Amino acid sequence: MTATATNAAPAAVPAPDLDWWRGGAIYQIYPRSFQDSTGDGIGDLAGIAERLPHVASLGVDAIWISPFFTSPMKDFGYDVSDYRGVDPMFGTLADFERLIEVAHGLGLRVMIDLVLSHSSIEHPWFTESRSSRTNPKADWYVWADPKPDGTPPNNWLSIFGGPAWHWDGKRHQYYLHNFLESQPDLNLHTPEVQEELLDITRFWLEKGVDGFRLDTINFYFADKHLRDNPALPPERRNANIAPSVNPYNHQEHIYSKNQPENLAFLKRFRALLDEYPGAAAVGEVGDAQLGMELLGQYTRAGQGVQMCYAFDFLAPERLTAARIVDVFHHLEHAAPDGWACWAFSNHDVTRHVTRWGLTPEGVRMYAALICALRGSVCFYQGEELGLTEADVAFEDLQDPYGIEFWPEYKGRDGCRTPMVWEPSNDTGGFSRAKPWLPVAPEHLSQSVAAQEGREDALLHHYRRVIAMRSAHPVLRKGDQAELTATGEVLSFLRTDGTERIFCAFNMGETAAEVALPLGAWHPIEGIGGTEPADETLRLDAWGYALLRAG
């Protein structure tokens, strides 16, 4: 055979499942870049609602919407000035309520991005906090006196470069900012701050959201004693969290984040979630050294979030068979009961088609792979079209990260350019006006409309492999065993007591063979594989096959 499955239609919306998140597929929407409904060049909530039928057609379980709260937009919504408000550029609270109605009508759950570790410098809380050392919100942020020589209280660094402390002339103290100076860190050691954040969470649950993506979940607490972080040996540095040009990678951040107090807060957060059956949360763990260990702690049964967003497959280096085996072995050791949510691309990293230099065959193989691995999965908007990283000129840059480190690091704008819906104009159907970021001309031929009419288009491939995942519950919630790297071939078994599926992926550029487990095996999905014979399966370069026992 050439093990190529038919273009199966997406599975029908399943009956309510309180554990839908376990093995679920989530589609990430970056609202500025999804669809502009007003003609101002910026995407909005009404635009998202308009395009949700496309998302539903993929067969995913939920959408995750990046922040749309009121914000001065210094970090494009990750600097919140009103946690209960919708920024006017995105619409109104009524628009969001309508979006939920449309999504639920299509069988899609709605997750929103909550940024609880820091606010905007323009938030009224911070305005009050900085006004004096005795006001009611004086300790709602992390404030500290300078050293005797006037320098910051310790050596902590910001992810965006430079010290993580900024001097405030009103209080004559430094405040902590793990990100931009305009993003002061909230002090969750203060009980009132925790209560307010939980109340905000309840506000959105009452609006009908089905869950949350928790931004920078391991940054919620800083060391009370503000001890210096130790240096990180060069051989342990990597660029998974911050680009290599950033000195942030030179420290082991054992005091500025990852504090044990976080476990107690997450237990309270989970108790609140559990009041709303089916509500779920995925935490973004930003730590290059302790990511798996924190995943295990934060997803402990009933004690924290249901799943954690893992960074291991977002690395600059192409994902290999050996690397996947290492990641899962580490996960099994560090977090045997943990649950990961995997992604290849998102709004913060170079799109994986470009990052890994993938061929069209490689793109299809990786799409099938992420749908076969144990864990939940996030797809980033445009991934289903095979979009490459856009080359954004310096004069068009919007991202402060890229502006700071240009040209060694060009920032995140290249993965945030507008979604392309049709090829008839230079905005790809995203807007009637000039978009906030330019549409890459090469993306137009990959638009949704351009691919819908091509039977062999990548868009249909994504629909098929997501449908495959839904059609076989073992791929969503089953166990994973015998994970093996044989040269460039990754193979493993998915089992659940009812069904056994053998998965083999050739992650290399030459044909290869892999031994089959004993028994009879029947193809359910694959490209570039031969009929299994003599207990051996031959796979072309970038070929893969999923075989069912029986």
The catalytic residues are: 215, 275
Side chain identity, residue 193: V
Contacts of 102 (CB under 8 A, 6+ apart): 49, 52
Q: How far apart are CA 455 and CA 448, in angstroms?
A: 13
In single-letter form, the type of residue at position 314 comes to L
Asked if omega into 407 is within 30° of 0 (cis), the reply is yes
Q: How far apart are CA 379 and CA 61, in angstroms?
A: 11
What does the block give as tokens for 224? 């009370």
Side-chain half-sphere of 96: how many Cα atoms within 13 Å? 26
In whole angstroms, how far apart are CA 141 and each of 73, 124, 224, 285? 20, 12, 12, 21
Dist. CA 418–CA 408, nearest whole Å: 24
C-alpha distance from residue 545 to each of 19, 164, 352, 522 (Å): 28, 48, 22, 10
Could you tell me which residues come within 8 angstroms of residue 308 by beta carbon, excluding any fewer than 6 positions away? 217, 282, 283, 284, 285, 294, 295, 298, 299, 338, 339, 340, 341
Residue 361, class by beta-carbon neighbours within 10 Å (0-12 exposed, 13-18 middle, 19+ buried)? Answer: middle
Vertex 102: Cα angle to 100 and 105 (nearest 5): 105
- The per-residue b/e assignment along 254-277, b for 16 or more CB within 10 angstroms, e otherwise, is bbbbbbeebeebbeebbeebeebe
Distance CA 365, CA 171 (A): 56
Nearest partner of 378 among 401, 349, 399, judged by Cα: 349
CA angle 305, 113, 20 (to 5 degrees): 50
**Token pair of 230, please?**
């130790």
Report CA dihedral (424, 427, 430, 434) to the nearest 10 degrees: -140
222 close to 185: Cβ distance less than 8 angstroms: yes
Residue spans of beta strands (DSSP E) within 147-246: 165-168, 173-176, 211-214
